Amino acid sequence: MKDKYSIGIGFNLFDVRAILLRGDGKIVMSIERKRGDVDANQTIEMLLDLFEEIISKAKKYENQIEGVGFALGGIIDKKRGIMHWPQEIDSSCVYISVPLKKYFQDKFKLPIVIENDSSACAWAEYVTNYSNYSNIIYMFSGVGCGIVIDGSLYGGRDGASGELFVNPHTVMQSPLGDFSFLAPWPADMGAVKKAKQLISLGKNTSLIKRITSTGNFSLEDILIEARNKDRVSRDLLKEIVFCLGVKLSFLVNLINPEAVIIGGGLEEAGDFLLEEINRVVRNFSFSEMRKNLKINFSRLGRTATSLGAGLLVFKENSLHKDKDML
């Protein structure tokens, strides 16, 4: 009996990856590319290019490929196969809708699975590293999170669960205080802009050596320099971690998970960031909820999105076969 394969393509915070995945979970082939800030059209173009590249390199497996999984940011309506892509207009978050599943099915002539990036990561971690647990949360950067409840991926009514933010207003205050930490975050969580301001004020930081000829650097650079104990980078991340930790505390109190996994690239900062997250969660969650809670970095790193997308192809196919047998 021949092995079965799937293709998984996923966007991370810093890159996009395509893998050829065997049915036993082994990654047979992998392609990766750096990514920047891309709009919906550029995202589709990048996905097409990656698919064509990996399918051309996997010709001998072509007849054994069961489908293609895509893990993307935004809200995924899996019932209708539509991706609602977030766009910022006049300080508000709006969505454009793309019928991604039908488009790719017509294009590739293969079964297509689309999933939110953080949900795909949560599924990949659950299957490969946390299968003995029932309830886990995967935090992808600062807004989206993937949720596994009772061993099943939770998407909510419309596939929109886990988008933990509120649209901003001019005054982000209530009788309870300022809650602007729940506003949407840009892809770099605002860290690059703040770092440039500090550098312009003459702050001494090793980030200066990472500035390119065009005067830029990235969140990845800040994470790496924080791991290298750069004070400015660490102070910037403490602000980010406070917001992240408060959001996680809400989720811990609501869901009472056994484990929280931090990924999406934030693990690049090392133990410093994990210690800060634990400190904030201790301050903002009930002791009963966190007494047996594990907060860990992702073990899969940047592979999580594409691996989750590939694994979900096999999961969806298995569900369809079970229904056909009824």
Beta-bridge mates of residue 21: 6, 27
**How do the domains of the chain map onto residue ranges?**
5-117+301-325
Q: pLDDT band at residue 31, thresholds of 50, 70 and 90?
A: very high
Fold of 5-117+301-325: Nucleotidyltransferase; domain 5 (3.30.420)
Q: pLDDT band at residue 171, thresholds of 50, 70 and 90?
A: low
Pairing of strands 112-116, 65-72: parallel
Position 309 pLDDT exceeds 60: yes
Secondary structure of residue 23 in the 3-state scheme: coil
Sign, Cα dihedral of 283, 286, 292, 298: negative
Beta-bridge mates of residue 98: 83
Burial 186-224 (b: 16+ CB within 10 A, else e): ebbbbbbebbeebbeeeeebbbeebeeeeeebbbbbbbb
Position 218 pLDDT exceeds 70: yes
Kindly list the distances between the CA atom of residue 4 and the CA atoms of 1, 61, 67, 311, in Å, as whole numbers in the listed order: 9, 9, 10, 12
Position 160 scores a pLDDT of 76
Alpha-carbon distance 268 to 290, whole Å? 24
Q: pLDDT band at residue 326, thresholds of 50, 70 and 90?
A: very low
CB 122 within 8 A of CB 129: no
Residues 195-209, mean pLDDT to the nearest whole number: 91
Position 319 scores a pLDDT of 58
Q: Among candidates 309, 308, 317, 316, which has minimal Cα distance to 127?
A: 308
207 CB contacts (<8 Å, ≥6 apart)?
195, 199, 217, 221, 222, 225, 230, 232, 233
pLDDT tens per residue across span 226-260: 999 999 999 998 988 888 888 899 899 999 999 99
Q: Among candidates 126, 128, 120, 168, which has minimal Cα distance to 144?
A: 120
CB 15 within 8 A of CB 35: yes
Residues 204-221, mean pLDDT to the nearest whole number: 89
Position 126 pLDDT exceeds 70: yes
Q: pLDDT band at residue 9, thresholds of 50, 70 and 90?
A: very high
CB 152 within 8 A of CB 288: no
The mean pLDDT value of the chain amounts to 86
Q: pLDDT band at residue 325, thresholds of 50, 70 and 90?
A: very low
Q: Among candidates 175, 176, 115, which has minimal Cα distance to 148?
A: 115
pLDDT tens per residue across span 84-109: 776 666 655 566 788 889 988 998 89
Residues 290-295, mean pLDDT to the nearest whole number: 91
Provide the percentage of residues in the chain whose pLDDT is more than 70.
84
